[in-house]
A = this chain, B = another copy of it.
């Protein structure tokens, strides 16, 4: 195990995903601890630690990728929280989700928006509500 990558990754994971990310790693301890290490080392120590794009852009991309493949509601929950953690507003998050309709159709977008609704409620943040339609 590469200590430096792991530590850099853990710090990033805590900065971005916070408790939600920690819970994922812990859930793997008995069954597949190495898988948790790869998440920390590769996803966070390698990829999220790169320069070239800020964390807000990275979270919008993550949400788009997760919602497009479907069936990833648990991961979407973690990363919608992460999106708030790195400073995206609820309105920006919902806007990013809605932007996917022409590419994925409505069902995947509806699933993601309703997941976001649950995350916002649990966090006590107010959803965008009033439309920003021009």
Q: Bound complex: CA of A46 vs CA of B38, how far in Å?
A: 9
Q: Which residue of B lies closest to A61 (CB)?
A: B64
A53 and B102 contact, Cβ closer than 8 Å, known pairs A69-B70, A107-B69, A113-B31: no
A27 an interface residue at 8 Å Cβ cutoff?
Answer: yes
Q: Which residue of B lies closest to A120 (CB)?
A: B31
Whether the Cβ atoms of A128 and B32 lie closer than 8 Å is yes
Whether the Cβ atoms of A71 and B106 lie closer than 8 Å is no
Q: Which 8 A-B pairs have the closest CB atoms?
A: A70-B71, A71-B71, A43-B102, A52-B95, A64-B64, A68-B68, A65-B103, A31-B127
Whether the Cβ atoms of A99 and B33 lie closer than 8 Å is no
**Of the residues B52, B65, B134, contact of A64 by C-beta under 8 Å:** B65
Question: Which of A5, A47, A62, A134 has the largest count of B CB atoms less than 10 A from its CB?
Answer: A47
A129 an interface residue at 8 Å Cβ cutoff?
Answer: yes
A82 an interface residue at 8 Å Cβ cutoff?
Answer: no
Q: Bound complex: CA of A46 vs CA of B24, how far in Å?
A: 20
